A and B are shown apart, each in its own frame.
Chain A
Amino acid sequence: MNTNQDYNQFVSGIYPDSRGHFGPFGGRYIAETLMPAILELEAAYTRFSSDPGFKEELNSLLKKYVGRPTPLFYAKRLSDHIGGASIYLKREDLTHTGAHKINNTLGQTLLASWMGKNKLIAETGAGQHGVATATTAALFGMECKIFMGVEDIQRQAPNVKRMKLLGAEVIPVESGTGTLKDAMNEAMRYWVGEVRDTFYVIGSVAGPHPYPMMVRDFQKIIGIEAREQIMEEAGRLPDMLIACVGGGSNAMGLFNAFADDAVEMVGVEAAGKGIETGKHAATLGHGSIGVLHGSKSYVLQDEYGQIKEAHSISAGLDYPGVGPEHALLKECKRARYVSVEDTQALEAFQTLCSLEGIIPALESSHAMACAMVEAQKSSKEKIILVNLSGRGDKDLDIVFSELNI
């Protein structure tokens, strides 16, 4: 996997293969009851995603409803403060609903509508994907159920109210640890029962094929825009891309458009309270290969294949799995994955607030923390492009309590 030839193969965009495999990762590890629905979804996606009418409708909504293109912003005060590389921020926090998640939910909701389905379900961790799904469900007049762990309901209370306001039913999930993985388990259980007329909107580049491919495709607009914008602004490609990785959709969306370029890619996982404490969510960095939620990738597990609890201050990164394409990027050494602790993310959060007047999501604060370290190590000529995947309004309660404000 580590040969230069495979690296080139990756660049040419051959993944996933027809069976949904990203090299040794990905696939469709699901109950037979769901297989026909997954095959139907794959066929519908293949057909409609190349339909000019579908593309036109999606692009029009991305522009007029989501507010795309989002700006690329040169964080001058932050860059000067650090005194190293120039840091540019891709402002996904400025989308409608405040995070990149809506790029994907809009695509999937439109697909559901073209498939003639009008009931949506989704899992959510931080609540951003739930809010984005509830939003596009309202836009299309669809019924919407959001599965959310009880722990996350508590720590992301404002988003729960937003989803309800948007007309979605929020279903509390008490099983397991009451976080994102359990919400996904429960959504899959519900889907097994209602598969005939329900569309499952998965929020990350995880899950069974075709989700990792489809979600990447709906998110790659981030990278396409960012690539054009940096060329226009700086007249050249960036040296490094940085994005946070929970399931990995915002990172994949940014990375994809630069796959053929000589640009370094860095994914930032959550180191939680510290890798050595075991309370982290650094799946790629410290997990091992396994099967969770329908695909083979890296997972946090014990030696017997039982999934371990993840930990992060950021609910959106608090997931013991990761998208299979990231596993491939790691294997090919095309991308590098590092991790950032809760405390470092909080510091980066405050720095961005005070120096740039931007309140980032705690997820994105992990990417910011990494960017500040990398910028300091680099010379002034270097350019680092960070995906500021979401805004931090939803995290204010946690931040206030952590910082005793």
Chain B
Amino acid sequence: MNRIDKTFEDLKLKGEKALVGFVTAGDPNIPDSLKIITSMCEAGMDILELGVPFSDPTADGPVIQRSSARALEQGVNLKDVLEMAQTIREHFSIPIILFSYYNPIHAYGIEPFYRDAVTAGADGVLVVDLPPEESDEMTSCELSKDLPLIRLFAPTTPVERMAKIAESASGFLYLVSKTGVTGSDGLDTKEIGTNTESLRSVTQVPICVGFGISTAEDVAAVASVADGVVIGSAFERMIEENLDNPGLPDIIGKKTREYKKATK
């Protein structure tokens, strides 16, 4: 069984939901980024989303835009991100999802990307700006079977479309909590509940909800309806506020434990 499926099965047995943490790889630099991720893994995070920095992140709010810019200032590219994934894999069995815009993968080359991502020990790939209408260019690659494309669903996705997209989905489904970019305010847990139920009516694949979730209370509320909760901008905000603080990995670790507790 692959690492993603095993994670959800183990969590189900324990009666817990998945805590999915997103960080931009290489923010503020590669060594510190690895320390932060290590701290998150040791604190009980269930799934890692490793963000590939991109110059034009159109689906992201200011916090992740700035984190991406900091990583790019360090010259971090997709090759570095794959090397980071490999380093993490050497120490942890946590599922690693590569989270990217399409252009860096396109520039790397689809085949080389799959080959190197699988070798590095990644478990899935999520491409923000690659809807099912365009994803053939990735899924037609033979190697893509070893690295499922994590499908995105939005509050604007009609249920018939949800069913069609879910047909070919594996790993888990990423349900965007609201219309808007990452890190925007105003979580409507009632709407999330309704959307999660709609999606669940058409699939057996686990559902993780992300965008705009920042407090332990948010996590608990979302965890009560979904199979997993994604935190991104909230972690990046902590990184940004503690760029010169040597205690940053511990701060992130402490917060991760707090979030994890809320998924139990």
Contact = CB atoms under 8 A, between A and B. Distances in A.
Tell me which of A31, A36, A296 has the highest count of chain B C-beta atoms within 10 A of its own C-beta: A31
Given A27-B133, A32-B131, A306 B156 contact: no
A195 interface: yes
B134 A28 contact: yes
Interface string B144-186: 0000000011111110010000000000000010011100100
A256 B129 CA distance: 29
Given A27-B134, A32-B154, A195-B179, A305 B58 contact: no
A306 B54 contact: yes
Nearest to B155: A33
B199 to A, nearest CB: 12
A291 interface: yes
Tell me which of A36, A189, A292 has the highest count of chain B C-beta atoms within 10 A of its own C-beta: A189
B55 interface: yes
Given A188-B58, A306-B55, A29 B130 contact: yes
Contact of A175 (B65, B130, B157, B161): B65
Contacts of B102: 29, 291
Contact of A36 (B58, B65, B77, B158): B158
A33 B154 CA distance: 5
Given A33-B155, A193-B179, A305-B104, A185 B58 contact: yes
A400 interface: no
Given A185-B58, A293-B58, A304-B108, A33 B179 contact: yes
A29 B128 CA distance: 9
Given A30-B129, A176-B55, A189-B61, A196 B103 contact: no
A132 B176 CA distance: 34
A31 B174 CA distance: 12
Contact of B181 (A193, A289, A291, A292): A193
A161 interface: no
Interface residues of A, number: 37
Given A30-B129, A30-B131, A32-B153, A306 B179 contact: no
A290 B103 CA distance: 6
A37 B153 CA distance: 14
B103 A36 contact: no
Contacts of A292: 56, 103
Interface string A183-194: 001001100111
Counting chain B residues whose Cβ lies within 8 A of the other chain, the interface size class is 35 or more
A294 interface: yes
B129 A33 contact: no
B108 A31 contact: no
A76 interface: no
Contacts, number: 116
A377 interface: no
A29 B100 CA distance: 13
A131 to B, nearest CB: 24
A33 B108 contact: no
Interface in A176-217: 176, 181, 185, 188-189, 192-196
A181 B101 CA distance: 16
B154 A31 contact: yes
Nearest to B100: A305
A75 to B, nearest CB: 40
A359 B64 CA distance: 44
A306 B101 CA distance: 10
Contact of A196 (B77, B104, B156): B156
A396 interface: no
A103 interface: no
A305 B102 CA distance: 9
A189 B131 CA distance: 17
Contacts of A31: 58-59, 128-129, 131, 152, 154
A290 B153 CA distance: 24
Contact of A306 (B72, B154, B155, B158): B72
A276 interface: no
Interface string A54-89: 000000000000000000000000000000000000
10 contacts: A19-B133, A28-B133, A28-B134, A31-B58, A32-B153, A33-B176, A290-B103, A291-B103, A304-B78, A307-B56
Closest 4 CB pairs of A and B: A305-B107, A193-B180, A304-B77, A33-B154
